[in-house]
Amino acid sequence: MAKYDEQFKLKVVREYLKGTESGRSVAARHELDHSVVRRWVESYRVHGLSGLRRQSGTYSAPFKQSVLRKIRDQGLSDTEAATLLGIRSSGHIGKWRAQYDAGGIEALARKRPGASMPHKYPPEPVSK
């Protein structure tokens, strides 16, 4: 998946917010999927410029559980929850739901498989 910088996202959002074009036409001009433009616009509306910034880090198990509760209690879609709560991708929420359904809060706390690799030392030089 391509990564776009904040200035590019802001440019696309502003073009859409002018109101002279549809999200699909703005997306097509920039060779983006229209859902990407829609997500950026909604994130900008809710969070302002910070909604367009790249995020890093991980989410804690209690945070993941609170997201799933909020979705259930407020009847939010995964996309709405991701936008409201500043989650990078609504796809994360579907994974969290599957993990929680399979193993409860403990499953949400587990590190992803293969997250760390053992250190490999270079082979010893062969002497002649």
pLDDT tens per residue across span 68-112: 999 999 999 998 898 888 887 888 999 999 999 998 888 888 766
The DSSP secondary-structure symbol of 31 reads T
d(CA 115, CA 119): 13
Tell me what pLDDT residue 117 has: 57
Torsion, Cα 96 68 64 92, to 10 degrees, reads 40
Per-residue DSSP letter, 48: G
Is 50 exceeded by the pLDDT of residue 1?
A: no
The closest of 55, 50, 52 to 37, measured between CA atoms, is 52
Boundaries of every domain in the chain: 6-52, 61-109
> How confident is the model at residue 125, as a pLDDT?
72
pTM over 0.85: no
CA dihedral of 36, 40, 43, 44, whole degrees rounded to 10: -170
**Averaged pLDDT for residues 16-36:** 93
Q: Say which residue, 114 or 79, is predicted with more confidence.
A: 79
